[in-house]
Structure 1
Amino acid sequence: MKYKCLVFDHDDTTVNSTATIHYPSFVEYMKRYHPEINYSLEEYVKYNFYPGVLEFFKEMCGLSDEEMKEEEIFWYEYARTHVADAFPGIKEIMERQKAEGGYIAVVSHSYAENILRDYEHNALPKPDIIFGWEQPLEERKPAPVPIYKIEEKFNLEPKDILMIDDLKPGLDMAKAAGIDFAAACWCFDIPENEQHMRANTPYVFKSVSEFADFLN
């Protein structure tokens, strides 16, 4: 066991959900309420990477605070009725981690209930702890608070933990908490995103199998 705790992001790291759930929800919302706003899937992913999801909606799409609340409700209802498939190989990584006595944590910008539903749908091992979108704003990624709570709950040190994420907020959280970070670049091929990851972590993986080999 290379790390006692693997901290997984959810969307586009564990499950293929942006292309199948989050982006279609975004498109449908904008079509109804802001038809003048159009972004491709690749642009949506790139801007969720940087400047981040909240900044994307507020600053780039120009949604007001009230519209942000409405969009979040729309997204929640859409995500609640859709499930995403896990990337092949993720289940085996998680099962091995648990079998060897390790922990699985999830720190995500999705709601915990949706994360658990996706885990059940894909027969993934139940996470030992989840920090989702329902957490207070100041405790969501990129804030390092979830990592500190994981360390406290499971009596771990920074060297015991690896964060796996496809977006910059996960990287920033890992750096702030002083833990290792693995860039999950197996869902989308966005050159700008990958370049930023390679400049900030030695662990960049283009496939789940590459990541599995790293953990061996």
Structure 2
Amino acid sequence: MKYKQIVFDVDGTLIDTEYAILYSLQETIKIVTGNTIELDGLSFALGITGEDALEKLNITDIPYTLALWDKNMSKYSDTVCVFEGIPELLDILTKSGYQLGIVTSRTSEELDHDFCRFDIYKYFSTIICADDTSEHKPSPAPLFKYMEVSKTNNRELLYIGDSTYDMECAKNANIDFALASWGSNLTEDISVTFRLSGPLSLLDIII
């Protein structure tokens, strides 16, 4: 096997949370500031930590706003789902001998709320959340932490994500990157190691 471990981002890669994240953020900003920001103006928040997103929006009371955002996010929980093909992919990878992991911009608490309820959580042996490192994507720190915990090196990993932050994190860590096109809005001209049309297309590359 070219890689020993396949590492996934969560939002936009394993689960579809775009609607829930953007609409709950829009609602939160309206409550806190009185301003309505169009969804296009909030799309930058996809793929970075909630704290970093609120800092970019010049929110002063970040702890309160984060808590409110999390509360509002729960209203949209029924819109969050696992992408088609992901359960089958994870099952095949596991049976083929790959170790699976996660590097996400979510905190461990946020991951518990919105991801652990899905049955696919059982497939992952190493999980790095935002509260595991002081620097976050696009910094390579989360993937460096992953390698430290999993006792792997950069040539043994493939990182799969949907955002520019994921791509830059992998590049900065010198790790091969596969773009999850099913959850991505990135253009065709960006440079990636692999471009996946669907989850199961990964199998054509590594198995």
Q: TM-score, normalised by structure 2?
A: 0.82
> 1:112-164, CA deviations, whole angstroms, 9 ceiling, x for partnerless residues?
244355554331134112111323432x2222233223323333221210111
In the alignment, which residue of structure 1 is the partner of 2:27?
28
Partners in 2 of 1:141 and 1:164 — Cα distance? 13
In the alignment, which residue of structure 1 is the partner of 2:153?
157
Deviation at 1:10, TM superposition (A): 0.4
Deviation at 1:175, TM superposition (A): 0.9
Structure 2: 5+ residue stretches without partners: none
Compared with structure 1, are the counterparts of its residues 15 and 36 closer, same or farther at alpha carbon in structure 2 (3 Å cutoff)? same
Partners in 2 of 1:163 and 1:18 — Cα distance? 20
**Fraction of identical pairs, as percent:** 21
Structure 1: 5+ residue stretches without partners: none
Q: Secondary structure at the match of 1:25?
A: helix
Q: Is the 8 A contact 2:178 2:196 kept in 1?
A: yes
Deviation at 1:208, TM superposition (A): 2.2
Tell me which amino acid in the other structure corresponds to 2:36.
I
Tell me which amino acid in the other structure corresponds to 1:3.
Y
Q: Secondary structure at the match of 1:115?
A: helix
Deviation at 1:7, TM superposition (A): 1.1
Deviation at 1:55, TM superposition (A): 5.8
Instruction: After TM superposition, list the pairs within 5 Å mapping 1:48-197 onto structure 2.
Output: 48=45, 56-59=53-56, 61-64=57-60, 66=61, 68-79=62-73, 82=77, 84-116=80-112, 118-124=114-120, 125-138=122-135, 140-188=136-184, 190=185, 193-195=186-188
CA RMSD after TM alignment = 2.8
Tell me which amino acid in the other structure corresponds to 1:156.
T
Q: Is the 8 A contact 2:179 2:192 kept in 1?
A: yes
Tell me which amino acid in the other structure corresponds to 1:28.
E
Partners in 1 of 2:139 and 2:160 — Cα distance? 15
After TM superposition, the structure 1 stretch with the greater mean CA deviation from structure 2, 202-211 or 126-135, is 202-211
Q: Is the 8 A contact 1:15 1:85 kept in 2?
A: yes
Q: Secondary structure at the match of 2:200?
A: helix
Q: Secondary structure at the match of 1:156?
A: coil
Q: Secondary structure at the match of 1:11?
A: coil
Compared with structure 1, are the counterparts of its residues 109 and 150 closer, same or farther at alpha carbon in structure 2 (3 Å cutoff)? closer
Partners in 1 of 2:205 and 2:73 — Cα distance? 32
- Which residue of 180, 183, 197 maps to 1:206? 197
Partners in 2 of 1:142 and 1:28 — Cα distance? 26
Deviation at 1:32, TM superposition (A): 1.6
Deviation at 1:27, TM superposition (A): 1.8
Q: Is the 8 A contact 1:13 1:165 kept in 2?
A: yes
In the alignment, which residue of structure 2 is the partner of 1:38?
37
Task: Could you list the structure 1 runs, at least 4 aligned residues long, displaced by more than 4 angstroms after superposition.
Answer: 49-56, 116-120
Partners in 1 of 2:145 and 2:74 — Cα distance? 27
- Size of the aligned set, in residue pairs, is 204
Compared with structure 1, are the counterparts of its residues 57 and 152 closer, same or farther at alpha carbon in structure 2 (3 Å cutoff)? closer
Deviation at 1:33, TM superposition (A): 2.2
Q: Is the 8 A contact 1:29 1:74 kept in 2?
A: yes
